[in-house]
Structure 1
Amino acid sequence: MTNSQLGEVLLAVLLLLLAANLLGQLFRRLRQPKVVGEILAGILLGPTVFGKIAPGFTADLFGADKADHRAVVLGFLYNLGLLMLMFVSGCAAQHLLGEQNRKATAWILGVGTPLPFVIALLAAPLLPLDEFTGVAGSKEAVVLVFAAATAVTSIPVITKIFYDLGILHTRFASLQLGSAVLEDIALWGVLSVATAIAAATIDTTGDELAATIGTHVAVNLGYVIIALTVMPAVLRRLSRAEWNVVARNSPVAWMLIVFLGYVSLAAALDVTLAFAGLLAGFGVMGGMKGTEQERFRAPMQSIGDVAGHFFVPLYFAIVGYRLDLSKTFDPLMLAGFLIGTSLVVFLSVGLGAKLAGMSRLDIVNIAVTRNARGGPGIVMASVAFDAGIINATFYTALVLTAVLTSQACGFWLDYVLRKGWPLLSGADLRRRGIEPVPEELPSIR
C-alpha cells in the first residue's frame, strides 16, 4: 500500500470514528443507547444520505467495490470490531447467577427464551420466506435466523444502559444479565448451525448436506462444551504459572493472545467467529475471584476502553454505512417483525416472570429490557447477511429492530428511575420468606 493509499484509508477511518463518537456521545447525553448514534453516523456518511448528495465523493472516500483497498481495510476493521465487541461482552459475563436470582433466572430462561424461539419457528412457514432469503437460498437457515433474532437479548447494550443509569450493581441488572448470557450462548449455537446449513446448501446436496450439517453441529457443540467447562480452569492455571512471563508481566497481551487463539482455532474448525470471541472472553475471565480477578480487572478495563472507543464504534458505524435505506427499507417488513416479535417476547418473558412471582411493574421492566436486541441482534443480522442466509431488505429490518428496541429499553428504564419506581419490588423473594435488601439507586429526577 502506497503512502497515498494509506492516507485515503486513514481519512475514511478518521471520518467514521469521529462521526460515530460524536453522535454516540450526543445520544448518550440524550439518555439513549450510544450504539444508536454510532449506527446513525454510518447511515449519514453512507449511501442513504451523503451518498445521495455526493455519490462519487463517497465512493472515492470509502471504496467503490469490495476489491478496493479502502473497502478491504474497512472490512477488516468491521470484523475485528465485531470480535472485540463479543470478547469484551464475554469478559463481562461473570458473577451473574447470584443465589437470590436463581429461581427467577430459571423461570425466565426456561420460559422466556425457548417460547419466543419456538413460536417463531412455528410461525416462520406461514411467512413469505422468499422475501427474506439471501443468495444461499436456504429457507431452513432463514427460519433459524428468524427465530434466533426474535429471542435474542443484547448483553452489551443493556450492560451499557445499566452502567449509564448507575444500576449495574442492582439485583435487577444481575438477573437480566445472568439469564441473557445463557440465552445468547444457546442462540449463537443456533446461528452457527444456520451458517453451516447455508454453506452446505451451496456446496452439497442430499446425504452430503446432512453429513456436513451433522459434522458442523458436532464440532460446534464440542467447541462450546470445552470452552465453557474445561478452558476457564485451564486458562486460570496457565495465567498463574511461574513460567508464563506474558501473563505475569503483560496481562493485556496475554488476554489478547487468548482471544486470538480462540478465534484462530474457531476459523480452522469452521466455528462462527463471533461466537468464539464471546467464549474467549468468558474463558479468560471465567471463575476468577479475589486477588486474581483484581489483577486482571485493570487490563480488562484497558482492552474494554480501546474496544469501546475505537473498534466497536467503527463496527457499528460501518453497519450503518452498509445500510442503504433508500433501496432496502421495507416499512411493512420492519413494522411486522418489530411489532410481532416484540409482542411474542413480552408475553413469553412476562409469563416466565409471573411464574417466578414477580409483580406487574417487575414484569414490564424485565420484558422491555429483554426485548432490547441491540448489539447481538445487529451482529446476528450481519453474520447471517454475510453468509448469504438473508437478503439486504431483511438485514435492514433486523438492524432497525435492534436499534428501536434498544432505544425503547433505555427510555423506559430512565422513566422508571425518574418516577422513583423500583426496578424489582422483591415480591418474588417475599413469597419465599426472604426480605430483599434495599438497593441504592441513582437520584436522577
Structure 2
Amino acid sequence: MSSGLASLGLLASASLVAVCIVRPRLASWVPDILVYLALGLAFGACGLCVQFGLQLSAGPAAGAASAAQTAALYLLVFSSCADLKITSLQRHLLEVGTLLAASVAAFAVGLITVGHIPALAPDATLQAAGDGARLAYFLALSLGVMVCSVPFLTKIFLNVGLQRSPFAHGLLLAACFIDILVWALFSVAVNLRQGNGLVVDTLVQQVLRGLGLTLAAGALAGLAFQGLAHGLRRRRREAPWMLLLATSLLFIGLMHAAGLEPVIGMVLCGLAVAPHRDVFGTAIGRSQALAVTLGAPIYFTCVGFGIQPSSIVSLEAVGVFILWSSVIKITSVSLAAGFIRRPGERRLDYGIAMNTRGGPGLVLAGSAYAAGLIPITGFVALTSASVLTALVTELYLKAAAPRILAADEASSTTAQPLRSL
C-alpha cells in the first residue's frame, strides 16, 4: 500500500472512531473539542503517521483531509448562521455594533503593538524576512486578534444551555460580521506578501472592493433564497435538505469563483436562509443535527490529524502571542461593553466569549500559512490560540451560564410592562 493511501486510511479511521465511538460516549462535562483534536494528533503527524513514516503534506491524505474539513466546516458554519434571525438585528443593533467596533479597535491596537512580539520572543524563522513579508506577518497575526468563531461559540452555547439566550444571539450576529471583515482584510495581507511595500491607496481599494463584493453576494443570496422560499410557499411545500444543500453549495462556489473565501459564502448563505424557517426549517434542523453528529467530530479530528510537528517553533513567541492577543481582545470588548451600560460581570462575559477564535482562527492559520504570510511559529501561535481560547470560553461559560440566564430572564421580565404600555 502506498504512503498516501495508508495515511488516507488512518484519516478515515480517526474520523470513524471520533463519530462512532468517541462522540456517543463523551460525558457532558468533557471538553469535546480537545478530545477530537487529541484523537487527530494520535492518528496523524504527531502519532501513528510518524510511527509508520507516512507523509501528510501532499497526496490523497492531504486532499481528503482538506475536503473533509471543508465539508464539516460548512455544516458547522451554515447551520450556526441559519439559526440566527438577521431580521432581529435591529433589536441587537447597539450590542452588535459595539462588539464589532471593539473588535476593530482590538485589531488596530494589535497592528500597532504586534512589532514588539519578536523583540520579546525572537523567532528565527522571521529574521531573514523582508519588509513586505514582515508587514504581511504582522497583519495576519493582528487578524488573529480580531477573528471570532461562530461555529465554536454555537457549539459552546449548545453545550452550556445558552443557545437561545439574547446574550448568545447578539454575540453570534457580531461574530458573523467580524469574520466577514477579517476575510475582506485577508487579501490585504496577501497583497503585502506578493508586493514590494505598503501602498495605502491600493490596499484601501482592495478592502473596499472585498466589502462591496461581499455585500453584493449577500444581497444576491438573500434574493435567491427569498425567491426559492416564495415558490415553495405557493406550492405549500417545505424545502428538502438536498435542495438546500445544492443551492447553498452552488452559491458558495460562485462566491469563491468571484474571489470570496468559502467561509464568507457559508456565512452569507446561512444568514440568507435564516428568515425563511417556515420553508427551510426541517432542512436547517437536519443540517444542525449533522453538524453535531458529524461536523464537529470530523472537523476537529481532521485539524488535529494535519498538525505537523516542528523543531524550529519558538514556543516563547507562541506563549507571548496568546497572552498578548487575549489581553487586547478581552480588554477592548469589556471596556466597550461598559459603554453600553452592561454590569461588571457581564462585561467580562462578553470579553471572554468574543476572544474565542475557534474554527475561523484555525482556517485563518491554515490559509495564511499556505499563502506564505506566516512562518511555522505564526501558524502554531494562531492554531494554539484558537484551541485554547475555545476551551477557556467553554469552561468559563459553564460556570457563568446560570447567572447569565437569570440576568436575561430578569431583564425580559422588567421589559415586559414597558412593551404593554
User: How far apart are 1:189 and its partner, in Å?
Assistant: 1.5
Q: 3-state SS of the aligned residue for 1:76? A: helix
What per-residue deviation string (whole Å, max 9, x for no partner) do you get for residues 27-83 of structure 1? 663242x3222222111212223345x233xx1xxxx35453343333332333334
1:152 aligns with 2:147: yes
1:257 aligns with 2:246: yes
Cα distance between partner residues in 2 of 1:10 and 1:248 = 41
2:303 equivalent among 305, 319, 337: 319
1:114 equivalent among 82, 104, 117: 104
1:435 aligns with 2:398: no
Question: 1:297-376 maps to which residues of 2 (within 5 A)?
Answer: 297-325=281-309, 327=311, 329-376=313-360
User: How far apart are 1:123 and its partner, in Å?
Assistant: 1.1
Q: 3-state SS of the aligned residue for 1:327? A: coil
Letter of the 2:45 partner, please give it: P
Letter of the 1:232 partner, please give it: G
Cα distance between partner residues in 1 of 2:163 and 2:232 = 35
- Larger displacement relative to structure 2 (36-45 or 356-365): 36-45
Letter of the 2:147 partner, please give it: V
1:20/1:38 contact within 8 Å kept: yes
CA RMSD of aligned residues (A): 3.7
1:167/1:173 contact within 8 Å kept: yes
1:220/1:271 contact within 8 Å kept: yes
Cα distance between partner residues in 2 of 1:244 and 1:330 = 61
1:92 equivalent among 83, 87, 91: 83
Letter of the 1:37 partner, please give it: V
User: How far apart are 1:356 and its partner, in Å?
Assistant: 0.8
1:164 aligns with 2:154: no
Letter of the 2:156 partner, please give it: I
User: How far apart are 1:408 and its partner, in Å?
Assistant: 0.9
1:182 aligns with 2:180: no
2:226 equivalent among 207, 227, 236: 236
1:24/1:37 contact within 8 Å kept: no
Cα distance between partner residues in 2 of 1:127 and 1:51 = 33
Gaps of 5+ in 2: none
- Larger displacement relative to structure 2 (66-75 or 352-361): 66-75
1:221 aligns with 2:216: no
User: How far apart are 1:351 and its partner, in Å?
Assistant: 0.8
Distance 1:120 1:15, change over 3 A: same
2:117/2:321 contact within 8 Å kept: no
What TM-score does the superposition give when structure 2 sets the normalisation length? Answer: 0.83
What per-residue deviation string (whole Å, max 9, x for no partner) do you get for residues 327-361 of structure 1? 36532122111111111112111111111111111
Distance 1:130 1:96, change over 3 A: farther
2:148/2:361 contact within 8 Å kept: yes
1:296 aligns with 2:280: yes
Cα distance between partner residues in 1 of 2:186 and 2:324 = 21
- Larger displacement relative to structure 2 (133-142 or 321-330): 133-142
Cα distance between partner residues in 2 of 1:250 and 1:190 = 35
Q: 3-state SS of the aligned residue for 1:47? A: coil
2:71 equivalent among 72, 80, 87: 80
Letter of the 2:286 partner, please give it: S
Q: 3-state SS of the aligned residue for 1:321? A: helix
Cα distance between partner residues in 2 of 1:329 and 1:19 = 30
Match of 2:28 in 1: 29
What per-residue deviation string (whole Å, max 9, x for no partner) do you get for residues 193-223 of structure 1? 334544x44xxx689x999867754553332
Match of 1:14 in 2: 12
Q: 3-state SS of the aligned residue for 2:311? A: helix
Cα distance between partner residues in 2 of 1:141 and 1:352 = 28
Distance 1:99 1:267, change over 3 A: closer
1:126 aligns with 2:116: yes
Percent identity of paired positions between Structure 1 and Structure 2: 22
Letter of the 2:65 partner, please give it: L
Cα distance between partner residues in 1 of 2:156 and 2:99 = 20
Cα distance between partner residues in 2 of 1:35 and 1:244 = 43
What TM-score does the superposition give when structure 1 sets the normalisation length? Answer: 0.79
Match of 2:38 in 1: 40
Q: 3-state SS of the aligned residue for 2:162? A: coil
1:132/1:390 contact within 8 Å kept: no
1:26/1:37 contact within 8 Å kept: no
The alignment covers a number of residue pairs equal to 411
Cα distance between partner residues in 2 of 1:118 and 1:132 = 25
Cα distance between partner residues in 2 of 1:303 and 1:215 = 37
Match of 1:441 in 2: none
1:96/1:175 contact within 8 Å kept: no
